[in-house]
Amino acid sequence: MELTSHALLDAQAELCQNTFAFVKSMALKSAVDLGIADTIQHHGGGATLSQIAIKAMVPPSKIPCLSRLMRVLTHAGVFSTQADDGEQLLLLVGSPNQAAFTSLALHPAMSELPDPCMFKLRNGCTAFELANGDPAFNEAFNDGMVSDTEFTMDIVVKEHGEVLFQGVSSLIDVAGGLGAAAHAISKAVMDLAHVVDKSPGNTDVQYIAGDMFESVPPANVIFLKVCGSP
Ligand SMILES: C[S@@+](CC[C@H](N)C(=O)[O-])C[C@H]1O[C@@H](n2cnc3c(N)ncnc32)[C@H](O)[C@@H]1O
């Protein structure tokens, strides 16, 4: 069966939503803990980010995280950008409401969602630190990234390559993993040493080990792709 790029991307989006379904639960749990629905209700059904942050006592440094949380929950339909379009919000604050049930269902004892980071609690370190010390996990992580990136970049290059990469004379794929995107674009890639050590040889892509927070080599284009989206 030959699918169009559009159909393939739709299918990938659906698969991603199923794969990361737990993110919605975790975001909902955070919203319940922070009393966000009550704050919105308190402000007449439409609160600003700073009003929510003040009420939830979120420090200024964490406001970008709060913003991402709100975006996830708006996308999930829990909150809305329109004051008159929040049925799920009403279920959390109306009378009678589902807030206590939602709280119970998402209680760590019920849902096994530990706080603050499941990965760190389970493994005692971040995913990148684990990959550094565990070759099997490093391989699984990098292979997973390659499978996602090959799929996405094939379509990006096929559908928009000429517009996106025309005239580009040098490109750094920052934190590029094993270089799947850089291969698709056929330019440079940069990653941590433990990943670069595992990179395939015989390639026209140049691999540069380094910490992107310390320095990124100069290039015509800086490319940064995270899971699922270039
Ligand atoms: C989610 S993966 C994305 C890989 C690749 N961009 C892709 O989309 O297939 C994140 C990558 O960032 C790398 N990374 C994490 N912290 C880094 C840092 N400080 N400097 C350079 N690379 C880093 C990891 O080793 C990993 O390969």
Instruction: Tell me the CA–centroid distance for residue 93 and ligand 1, in Å.
Output: 40
Q: What's the pLDDT score for residue 214?
A: 93
Which tokens belong to 8?
Answer: 């393939």
Q: What's the pLDDT score for residue 187?
A: 47
Instruction: Tell me the CA–centroid distance for residue 191 and ligand 1, in Å.
Output: 6
pTM, entire model = 0.65
Class of 129-223 in CATH: alpha beta
Q: What is the dihedral of CA 148, 153, 154, 159, to 10 degrees?
A: 140
Instruction: Tell me the CA–centroid distance for residue 142 and ligand 1, in Å.
Output: 9
ipTM: 0.96
Contact 223, 207 (CB under 8 A): no
Q: Specify the amino acid at residue 63.
A: I
Domain boundaries, the chain: 16-112, 129-223
Select the CATH number that applies to the domain covering 16-112 from these four: 2.40.30.10, 2.60.40.10, 3.30.470.10, 1.10.10.10.
1.10.10.10
Tens-binned pLDDT, residue by residue, of the chain (230 aa): 778 888 888 888 888 888 888 888 889 988 988 988 888 888 888 888 889 889 889 898 889 999 999 999 898 888 887 765 666 776 777 676 777 777 777 776 665 555 567 778 888 888 889 899 999 988 988 888 888 888 888 888 888 888 888 877 788 999 999 988 988 886 445 566 677 677 665 557 888 999 999 999 998 889 998 765 43
180 Cβ closer than 6 Å to some ligand 1 atom: yes
213 Cβ closer than 6 Å to some ligand 1 atom: yes
Q: What's the pLDDT score for residue 100?
A: 73
Shared fold status for 16-112 and 129-223 = no
Q: What's the pLDDT score for residue 215?
A: 92
Could you identify the atom of ligand 1 that is nearest to the CA of residue 195?
A: 25
